[in-house]
Structures are given as structure tokens and as C-alpha cells.
Amino acid sequence: MLSINQITVFPQARRKKKRVGRGNSSGHGTYSCRGLKGQKARSGVSGLKKKGLKQVLQRTPKKRGFKSAAAKAKAVNLSAISRLFHDGEIVSLVSLRAKKLISANDTKVKILGQGFLGASKLIFQGLSISRSAQQEIAKKSGQIR
């Protein structure tokens, strides 16, 4: 049976890294495996010049722009609110979470004006509301706090 103390590493699996420029006695001194003169013998020359790789990298489109780390507001339509809320109820982050319209992780909510508000006199607290939704709420004599 094979046990852990019998496992040995294959010698070719652990090849030592070539240490160049460590003196002539190392066998890789003086020119450090670069040959004599020329562009590739100099320091600071990119290795991407081989096979036109630099041109390929320069031609590829890069990801541009900026993506904000700040969380975006979760959109909730008036049609969803009219299905779950009744007259005189308060619409807030807590009540929207309780009715499962938003998840527990959502911290910002924006009420959008898509659909019609069935319930009248709803009270909206601590939410950002679009202009079309504000007009619909005002039409149904609701309050925005």
C-alpha cells in the first residue's frame, strides 16, 4: 500500500531557475546569456517585439470608461406598489422589504411612474421618486415626505 512517506518528487519537476548575471563562475556571467551587442542585448527592451506581439496588443480594443463602485438605486414601479399597498399605508424601505419588493441588501430605492396607482393616499417616506411618479401620486392625493 502507498503511504505518504513513500511519495517522492520527480527530479525533472523541480528545475532550478537560471540565475544570470551572477559572475563568470556561474557560467552565465559577462553577457548574461544575451550575446554581444544589439537591441535584445540592451536593458529595458520589451520582449513583446518578438513575432509582432506588441502591434497585436496595441491594436486590441481596451476597456474604457469608469464604473462607479457606489450601489445604484433599485427601481420599483407604481404598478407593483398598487398591487401590494392599500389606502393610507406608508411606503418606505422597511415596508418595501417586508412586502419583498426589494432585497435586504438594497439601500437605495427609486419609485418609477410605470403603471397606475390604484390605492389612494399612500405616504411615501425616504425614497427618491421620478417626476412622472410624483404626478401620479399627487393625482391620487398621496403624500411625499
- Residue whose cell numbers read 553577457: 31
**DSSP sequence for 84-102:** H--TT-EESHHHHHHTTSS
Banded pLDDT at 130 (limits 50, 70, 90): very high
Number of Cβ atoms within 10 Å of the Cβ of 136? 20
Banded pLDDT at 63 (limits 50, 70, 90): confident
Check if the beta carbon of residue 53 is closer than 8 Å to that of residue 43.
no
How is the chain split into domains, by residue range?
98-145
Q: What confidence score (pLDDT) does residue 112 get?
A: 93
Q: Give mean pLDDT, residues 88-106.
A: 91
Check if the beta carbon of residue 108 is closer than 8 Å to that of residue 74.
yes
32: Cβ contacts below 8 Å, ≥ 6 apart = 20, 21
Instruction: State how far the Cα of 125 lies from the Cα of 66, in Å rounded to an integer.
Output: 32
pTM above 0.85, yes or no: no
pLDDT tens-digit map of 14-32: 888 889 999 999 889 999 8
